[in-house]
């Protein structure tokens, strides 16, 4: 069994449909999906706001690298181009946590090395898992505590929308 937390985001093309393509691609592996949030871009690149959500997924056939590969396949299907760090993108699928594993592997660092700094990850994650924890600098820390340590402006830049990931 492999349980993972995925953060998904999009700000090119039809961002909501791009996020929904992940939900569709996951099928029965999806355990929980947060609301859709509009978030200010992160990283200093001038671009439009993102739509973001967090998903909790489970599959007995996938390990952590399997989640990474599946995320990359879903990005490719959405025509993801990687030409500017922190730039606009049709789809971003990040593995935030996988079975609580800690790994410094450069291909898949776990937990995601900047998740604890990003309100757009923590806020939706706490919506679907209020008891979420993340290993930061060797210690397991409640995600709620990590969120509280972020700048108020970072937290305020994450706004819940009325948009839905699940198709009617």
Give the catalytic positions in this structure: 80, 89, 92, 94
133: left (phi over 0), alpha (psi -120 to 50) or beta: beta
Contact 127, 120 (CB under 8 A): no
Q: DSSP class of residue 85?
A: T
From the number of C-beta atoms within 10 Å of its C-beta (0-12, 13-18, 19+), residue 40 rates as middle
Contact 23, 166 (CB under 8 A): yes
Contact 11, 41 (CB under 8 A): yes
Q: DSSP class of residue 48?
A: P
Q: DSSP class of residue 12?
A: S
How many Cα neighbours within 13 Å face the side chain of 34? Answer: 29
């Amino acid at each position: 069994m492999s349980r993972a937390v995925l953060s998904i985001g999009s700000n090119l093309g039809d961002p909501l449909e791009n996020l929904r393509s992940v939900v569709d691609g996951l099928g029965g592996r999806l355990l929980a999906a947060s609301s859709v949030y509009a978030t200010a871009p992160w990283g200093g690149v001038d671009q439009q706001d993102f739509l973001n959500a967090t998903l909790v997924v489970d599959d007995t056939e996938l390990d952590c690298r399997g989640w990474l590969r599946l995320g990359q396949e879903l990005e490719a299907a959405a025509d993801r181009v990687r030409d500017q760090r922190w730039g606009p993108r049709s789809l971003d699928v990040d593995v935030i946590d996988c079975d609580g594993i800690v790994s410094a592997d450069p291909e898949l660092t776990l937990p995601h090395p900047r998740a604890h700094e990003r309100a757009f990850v923590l806020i939706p994650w706490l919506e679907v898992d209020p008891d979420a924890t993340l290993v930061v600098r060797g210690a397991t820390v409640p995600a709620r505590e990590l969120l509280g340590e972020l700048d108020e402006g970072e937290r305020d830049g994450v706004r819940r929308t009325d948009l839905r990931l699940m198709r009617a």
